Structure 1
Amino acid sequence: MPVTPEQQAEIDALRSAPRSTLRAVSEGMEKHLYSIYPVLDHGFVRVVDYMGDDAAICQAARVSYGKGTKSVQNDEGLIRYLMRHWHSTPFEMCEIKLHVKLPVFVARQWIRHRTANVNEYSARYSILDREFYIPAPEQLAAQSVINNQGRGQALTGDEAARVLEILKSDSGRAYDNYEAMISQDGQEGLARELARMNLPANIYTQWYWKVDLHNLFHFLRLRADSHAQYEIRVYAEEICKLVADWVPFAYKAFEDYRMGGETLSAAALDCVRRMLKGEDVTQENSGMSAREWRELQEVLG
Structure 2
Amino acid sequence: MPLTPEQRAEIEDARAETRQTLRATSDGMESHLYRAHEVLDHGLVRVIDYMGDDSAIVQAARVSYGRGTKAVQNDEGLIRYLMRHWHSTPFEMCEIKLHVKLPVFVARQWIRHRTANVNEYSARYSILDREFYIPAPEHLAAQSVQNNQGRGETLEGEEAARVLDWLREDAGRAYDHYEAMLSQDGQQGLARELARMNLPANIYTQWYWKTDLQNLFHFLRLRADPHAQYEIRVYAEAICRIVADWVPAAYRAFEDYRLGGASLSAKALDCVRRMGRGEEVTQETSGMSKGEWREFMAVMEG
Q: TM-score, normalised by structure 1?
A: 0.96
Aligned match of 2:42: 42
Aligned equivalents of 2:4, 2:179: Cα separation in 1: 19
Aligned equivalents of 1:174, 1:18: Cα separation in 2: 44
Q: 1:3-58, CA deviations, whole angstroms, 9 ceiling, x for partnerless residues? A: 35554343222112111211110000000011111000000001000000000000
Matches within 5 A, 1:63-212: 63=63, 70=70, 74-212=74-212
Aligned equivalents of 2:167, 2:200: Cα separation in 1: 10
Q: 1:188-227, CA deviations, whole angstroms, 9 ceiling, x for partnerless residues? A: 0000000000000000000000010000000000000000
Aligned match of 2:217: 217
Against the structure 1 CA distance between its residues 230 and 100, is the aligned structure 2 distance closer, same or farther, given a 3 Å change threshold? same
**One-letter amino acid of the counterpart of residue 159, structure 2:** E
Aligned match of 2:254: 254
Deviation at 1:278, TM superposition (A): 1.1
Aligned match of 2:239: 239
Deviation at 1:87, TM superposition (A): 0.3
Deviation at 1:277, TM superposition (A): 1.0
Structure 1 gap ranges (5+): none
**One-letter amino acid of the counterpart of residue 292, structure 1:** E
**One-letter amino acid of the counterpart of residue 248, structure 1:** P
Aligned match of 1:296: 296
Against the structure 1 CA distance between its residues 180 and 268, is the aligned structure 2 distance closer, same or farther, given a 3 Å change threshold? same
Aligned equivalents of 1:3, 1:111: Cα separation in 2: 24
Q: Secondary structure at the match of 1:101?
A: strand
Deviation at 1:263, TM superposition (A): 0.7
Q: Secondary structure at the match of 1:293?
A: helix
**One-letter amino acid of the counterpart of residue 18, structure 2:** P
Aligned match of 2:59: 59
**One-letter amino acid of the counterpart of residue 13, structure 1:** D
**One-letter amino acid of the counterpart of residue 104, structure 1:** V
Q: Secondary structure at the match of 2:185?
A: coil
Aligned equivalents of 1:262, 1:71: Cα separation in 2: 30
Runs of 4+ in 1 over 6 A off after TM superposition: none
Q: Secondary structure at the match of 2:186?
A: coil
Deviation at 1:69, TM superposition (A): 7.4
**One-letter amino acid of the counterpart of residue 246, structure 1:** W
Q: TM-score, normalised by structure 2?
A: 0.96
**One-letter amino acid of the counterpart of residue 212, structure 2:** D
Q: Which moved more, 1:145-154 or 1:4-13?
A: 4-13
Aligned equivalents of 1:85, 1:145: Cα separation in 2: 37
Deviation at 1:70, TM superposition (A): 3.5
**One-letter amino acid of the counterpart of residue 170, structure 1:** D
Q: Secondary structure at the match of 2:63?
A: helix
**One-letter amino acid of the counterpart of residue 300, structure 2:** L
What root-mean-square deviation, in Å, do the aligned CA atoms of Structure 1 and Structure 2 show? Answer: 1.5
Structure 2 gap ranges (5+): none
Q: Secondary structure at the match of 2:19?
A: coil
State the identity %: 81
Deviation at 1:63, TM superposition (A): 1.3
Q: Secondary structure at the match of 1:70?
A: coil
Aligned equivalents of 2:223, 2:35: Cα separation in 1: 22
Q: Does 1:21 align with 2:47?
A: no
8 Å contact from structure 1 (residues 62, 70) kept in 2: no
Aligned match of 1:2: 2
**One-letter amino acid of the counterpart of residue 144, structure 1:** S
The number of aligned residues is 298
Aligned equivalents of 2:69, 2:267: Cα separation in 1: 37
**One-letter amino acid of the counterpart of residue 172, structure 1:** G
**One-letter amino acid of the counterpart of residue 48, structure 2:** V
Aligned equivalents of 1:109, 1:270: Cα separation in 2: 35
Aligned equivalents of 2:13, 2:261: Cα separation in 1: 43
Q: Secondary structure at the match of 2:241?
A: helix
Aligned match of 2:286: 286
